[in-house]
């Protein structure tokens, strides 16, 4: 695994702490961090040790920091230690310690940054899980990218990851899909049945009227001919009783839409290890068993809930229901598992599904949901806690809505979908890499404006272009070095042995410091379930590299390729190759292809 300077010197800090205070509880020591300072002038690393220890040892942080200073200055590789109010300890490393990270990167390759913190831990990451009632839209896209990048990030950190898609193929929505598909089928047969007329017939009205179901109707006609319709005495075709067609059309429409969803995911570069059917979980009795388990624990009872706060729905009635004691696990109210008609609530079915994930060996469960499901988080966490006696953790990553803009104005809705911008529309417009990178340039729980003009613009404030351009510039330097033929072999293995002492300018050292952070970024981002940190980090790497490039443009002595200084050139080529490797390592987590040339 990659050598992490921050871990190495965190051990130095812990040694100093234990030397001063021998009986500090382990839970206190775990809070001690070593991080890059916000201002590089404050050193290479900073620790919060004095601030963390202050309450436990009953001393002012500044006094603890002053006591740590001489101990840390004795550590190999540390040049100096500075103390800053209210008790931060800033560490300056000897330059050779930072330079030594370059051979590590060159020998490790794109595996640099990998960690062992997740080894032996099985994590289930569920994402997308779109209802198979229509094509994927921009909202699904964000969850798909965030979930896929998070799964890749966790794998980089050593976790055993299962990437899962939950098919919501039970309940009222897929029944509504079946009715809508049947309407399109009748249209394909030539039956003159308007949208308004069919809405009056279908239970709950015609919920899915987008043109995307026209091919489904045509495919149903090709498969079943006229056999799903009724023939009147006059010999004309009309709607048949639902027992004749509903199950066949429902199954056919779900399979058709799932095929389209899978195709969209492939175009987006998203892969799932497992597709799990809600209907299958129910049919296997997994949900019933989970509910029985909760009942045996005394966590279910029959009761009446208080009316919803605010405006009360017209169909709300004060009736006795089967309730789960989710308040015993921190929820703000108990939750119903059965509807008034005796059928399961969505929550009950989701309990069964999560019980299935846990039975399959998941030790951590991560769900990536749309922000509109935020109110659902506490009850689901309560259920998982109850099912596992708090031995399995559930984390929920919420993704806020995405607004697609062109020229500063909202993009017109898709004609095919009828009410939303489809994922395929977006991919056709700007391409997979721009979509994936852009979706990770903000925290998932922050609303996003996806500016179609910006993501294809070749300028600095476009992070997609800015980071890709840094990698392309690295490749350009290496091409010129090879074409020149006077610098010998510039493959990473040979560069790992070159003398690096000539790398001493502030711009060069700033880039090396940044590259040294990568293993720490991987670990911190994976533990926080925040893949957007990778995009932020790559933007910082690109910024440091572009700054160094620009200094070489202004100052010939800082240029990467210098025919009169072969060893200095090879040292700088080592830095360029290491930068490209780290960029590619980050791109791999983001699911973005590195660009080698840009127009």
Which stretches does DSSP call E strand in 239-283? 274-277
* Rounded-to-integer distance, Cα 291 and Cα 323, Å: 11
Question: Which pLDDT band holds residue 310 (cuts at 50, 70, 90)?
Answer: confident
CB atoms within 10 A of CB 171: 16
Token code pair at residue 74: 């004795």
- Strand partners for 83: 89
Question: Which pLDDT band holds residue 273 (cuts at 50, 70, 90)?
Answer: very high
Best CA proximity match to 392, nearest among 405, 407, 382: 382
Cis peptide before 86 (omega within 30 of 0): yes
Token code pair at residue 157: 């950190």
| Mean pLDDT in residue range 356-370 | 97
Question: Which pLDDT band holds residue 490 (cuts at 50, 70, 90)?
Answer: low
Q: DSSP letter at 213?
A: G
What is the Cβ-side half-sphere exposure of residue 279, based on CA atoms within 13 angstroms? Answer: 15
Question: Which pLDDT band holds residue 460 (cuts at 50, 70, 90)?
Answer: confident
Share of the chain above pLDDT 90, in %: 82
Q: Is the model's pLDDT at 588 over the cut of 50?
A: yes
| Mean pLDDT in residue range 142-169 | 97
Share of the chain above pLDDT 70, in %: 96
Q: Is the model's pLDDT at 15 over the cut of 70?
A: yes
CB atoms within 10 A of CB 559: 17
CB atoms within 10 A of CB 176: 20
Best CA proximity match to 456, nearest among 473, 468, 474: 468
Between 228 and 38, name the one with better pLDDT.
228
| Largest interatomic CA distance in the chain | 101
| Mean pLDDT in residue range 300-305 | 92
pLDDT, one tens digit per residue, over 47-97 is: 999 999 999 999 999 999 999 999 999 999 999 999 999 999 999 999 999
Average pLDDT of the residues of the chain: 93
What is the SS3 string spanning 513-532?
Answer: HHHHCHHHHHHHHHHHCCCH
Read off the pTM: 0.93
pLDDT of residue 1: 42
Q: Rg (Cα) of the chain, in Å, rounded?
A: 29
Number of helices (H), then strands (E), in the chain: 24, 17
pLDDT of residue 415: 61
Token code pair at residue 284: 């296997």
What the chain holds in terms of domains, given with CATH numbers, is 5-93 (3.30.1360.70), 172-254 (no CATH), 459-590 (1.10.730.10)
Question: Which pLDDT band holds residue 558 (cuts at 50, 70, 90)?
Answer: confident
Token code pair at residue 77: 């590789």
Contact between residue 139 and residue 402 where contact means Cβ atoms under 8 Å apart = yes
Instruction: Look up tokens 């009410």; give the residue.
Output: 419
Q: Is the model's pLDDT at 485 over the cut of 80?
A: no
């Amino acid at each position: 695994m990659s050598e992490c300077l921050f871990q190495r010197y965190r051990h130095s800090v812990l040694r100093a702490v234990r030397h001063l205070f021998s009986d500090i509880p382990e839970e206190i020591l775990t809070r001690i961090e070593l991080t890059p300072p916000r201002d590089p002038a404050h050193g290479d690393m900073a620790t919060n040790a004095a601030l963390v220890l202050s309450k436990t040892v009953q001393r002012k942080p500044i006094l603890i920091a002053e006591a740590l200073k001489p101990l840390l200055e004795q550590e190999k590789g540390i040049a100096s230690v500075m103390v800053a109010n209210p008790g931060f300890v800033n560490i300056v490393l000897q330059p050779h310690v930072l330079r030594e990270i370059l051979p590590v990167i060159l020998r490790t390759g794109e595996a640099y940054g990998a960690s062992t913190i997740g080894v032996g831990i099985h994590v289930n990451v569920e994402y997308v899980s779109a209802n198979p009632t229509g094509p994927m839209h921009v909202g699904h896209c964000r969850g798909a990218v965030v979930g896929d990048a998070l799964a890749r990030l966790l794998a980089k950190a050593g976790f055993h990851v299962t990437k899962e898609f939950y098919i919501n193929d039970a309940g009222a929505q897929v029944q509504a899909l079946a009715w809508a598909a049947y309407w399109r089928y009748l249209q394909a047969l030539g039956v003159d049945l308007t949208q308004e007329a069919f809405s009056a017939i279908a239970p709950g009205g015609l919920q899915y009227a987008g043109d995307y179901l026209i091919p489904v109707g045509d495919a149903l006609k090709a498969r079943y001919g006229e056999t799903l319709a009724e023939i009147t005495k006059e010999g004309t075709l009309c709607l048949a009783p639902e027992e004749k067609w509903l199950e066949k059309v429902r199954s056919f429409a779900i399979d058709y839409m799932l095929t389209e969803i899978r195709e969209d995911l492939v175009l987006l570069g998203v892969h799932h290890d497992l597709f799990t059917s809600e209907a299958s979980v129910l049919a296997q009795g997994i949900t019933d068993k989970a509910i029985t388990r909760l009942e045996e624990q005394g966590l279910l009872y029959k009761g009446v809930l208080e009316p919803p706060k605010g405006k009360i729905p017209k169909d709300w009635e004060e009736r006795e229901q089967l309730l789960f004691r989710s308040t015993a696990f921190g929820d703000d109210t108990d939750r119903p598992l059965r509807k008034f008609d005796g059928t399961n609530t969505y929550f009950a079915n989701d309990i069964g599904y999560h019980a299935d994930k846990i039975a399959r060996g998941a030790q951590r469960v991560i769900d990536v949901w749309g922000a509109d499901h935020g109110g659902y988080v506490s009850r689901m966490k309560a259920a998982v806690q109850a099912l596992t006696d708090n031995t399995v953790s559930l984390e929920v990553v919420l993704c806020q809505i995405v607004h697609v803009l062109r020229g500063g104005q909202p993009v017109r809705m898709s004609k095919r979908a009828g009410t939303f911008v489809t994922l395929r529309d977006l991919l056709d417009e700007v391409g997979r890499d721009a979509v994936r990178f852009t979706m990770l340039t903000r925290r998932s729980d922050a609303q996003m404006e996806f500016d179609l003009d910006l993501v294809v613009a070749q300028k600095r404030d476009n992070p997609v272009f800015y980071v890709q351009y840094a990698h392309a510039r690295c490749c350009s330097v290496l091409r010129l070095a090879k074409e020149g033929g006077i610098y010998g072999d510039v493959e990473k293995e040979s560069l790992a042995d070159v003398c690096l002492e000539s790398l001493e300018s502030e711009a060069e050292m700033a880039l090396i410091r940044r590259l040294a952070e990568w293993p720490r970024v991987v670990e911190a981002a994976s533990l926080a379930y925040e893949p957007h940190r990778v995009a932020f980090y790559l933007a910082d790497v690109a910024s440091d590299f572009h700054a160094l490039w620009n200094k070489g443009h202004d100052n010939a002595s800082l240029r990467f390729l210098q025919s009169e200084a072969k060893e200095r050139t090879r040292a700088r080529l080592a830095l360029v190759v290491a930068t490209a490797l780290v960029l590619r390592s980050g791109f791999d987590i983001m699911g973005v292809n590195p660009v080698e040339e840009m127009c």
